[in-house]
Structure 1
Amino acid sequence: MKKINVLLQMAFIGFLLVSVSCSVESEPILTENLQNPVPKPETTAVGGSEPQGIHRSVSYKLSGNFSGKLDVTFLSSDGFTPPNPFLGMEIPWETEYDIPGQTYAIGGYANGLYGDGNPEETASLQMFLDNKLLETVIRTADDDGYITLPLESYSLEYDTSEKTISDSNIGKEITYKVDGDFSGKIILVYKVADGSRENIEINTLPWEYTFETTVNSARVSIYGLGTQGMKNEKIQYSLSLNGTVVDSGNVEAYEDGSISLTPEFFIDFD
């Protein structure tokens, strides 16, 4: 029963998190598969349909000190069948496959739910498009040694991974801040200097992240979701440019102790 509760909780977090973004870069991923029974630790070979015509390369990498086995599942949304899941993988691990040119969204997730990991061990799952980093998910194993790493769905229709900005917008200081008395866990999704997203979980406040824009910083943004807090607990979050607050918000936890750091705050640079 405890394992089922963990799966339901992680599925709930993943589904809500990827649904709250107002960015055209992402679409909600399907997380109902997180509730499937834990499979036996065996490897399934890559399958999937044969890409036709123009194609692009998608790759995934697992790293960290998590000592347990992980199952990796890929998602696609154009009728193309992605490779079969890899089951029972150990860190370090990576794979690559081609997608048809008409593919409009990619994503995936990794579950370490065999119970063979140790508490506080960490793992990261990265997704690349044509060798360009799109997202890094970082998580820490819970008290039972379980870990779940859900990537956001990435919309190729609005792909900006190759977009560059003008010299006048390079070197601007960006700061994200999150503060308040919220006592639960918070998942934050934010853009970093190279244009990719980081997807992390934090347990204490305040939290702050600062960087300078680069030629790849077409968009800077932050949003998130919290769970396991208490009703009426609060969070303040903000986005600043060169020391000046551009957007800020105050949000309050719901009856069930969840809290939503929305709307997404963002700046687009040309």
Structure 2
Amino acid sequence: MYIGSRHNAADHLITAIRHGFAYAVVDCPLIIADGLKGNDYQEVSIDGGHFKSVRIARGITDADAMVVLTHVKGHALAGFGGAIKNLAMGCAPPVGKRDQHQGMQAEVNESLCEGCGYCETQCPFSAIHVEDKAVIDRSICYGCSACLQVCPRHAIYFNWERDVPRFLERMAEYSLGAVQGFKRKILYISFLTDITPDCDCVTWSDSPIVPDIGFLASADPVAIDTAALDIINQERGLTGSSLQCHHEPGEDKFTGVWGYVDGSYILEYAEKIGLGTRSYTLVEI
């Protein structure tokens, strides 16, 4: 879906190896689940408010069991990225990722736009052209937020109250489709280390917003994400990070970075549609 080296299985494998996921290191084969060109998927029926079926990579639907390894971090559109987001985006082919983003519409604040063209170069759908100001073709914009994240003047924005809840609900429903057929044969492991403010898919990184904590394991994606969010919020925020506020223990760290997104919304919706429960008990090892 995005510009980069993950458009096809060959480039994706090369990228994975360069990041340390070679067979000699992990001692298991690496399989790109949606096929050579990202179009090998299966329609999975669900009973959601947005989808009655979702498109899940065939390598996922063919599997007998699954271990979901997640690096918990912030995210510009979701507030934070945990196991639910990992299921939704990680198990979907490119067309499924677009399904989830569809409906979000980027807007341009012309009073801030300087016409620098960064957004045009980063748009994976060629939906932006720049004359004096950036202009977005809404008929082909998928709301991926690539433009928003590179704009140096913060001139691109979404209607957060309208678009973000819909995006989070679509992700939760895709997660529900991803776990269908496993009959609870899924283990979730979430790493609460290097908790950076933005998604791992962006082309830059930033300082962690809280100290390293450890890792969590669960059989429930909603419970593990709820626990992760609670534990992170109990930490004192690190100075010199992207945290603009909410440094004190008990304050929501991710809204301290992305103030317009409440990451807990997806947990409520995921519980509502039967993906899991927000109730959990911590057992320290």
TM normalised by structure 2 equals 0.25
Higher RCO (Cα < 8 Å, 6 or more apart): 2
Task: Choose between structure 1 and 2: higher strand proportion.
Answer: 1
More helix by share: 2
**TM-score calculated relative to the size of structure 1:** 0.26
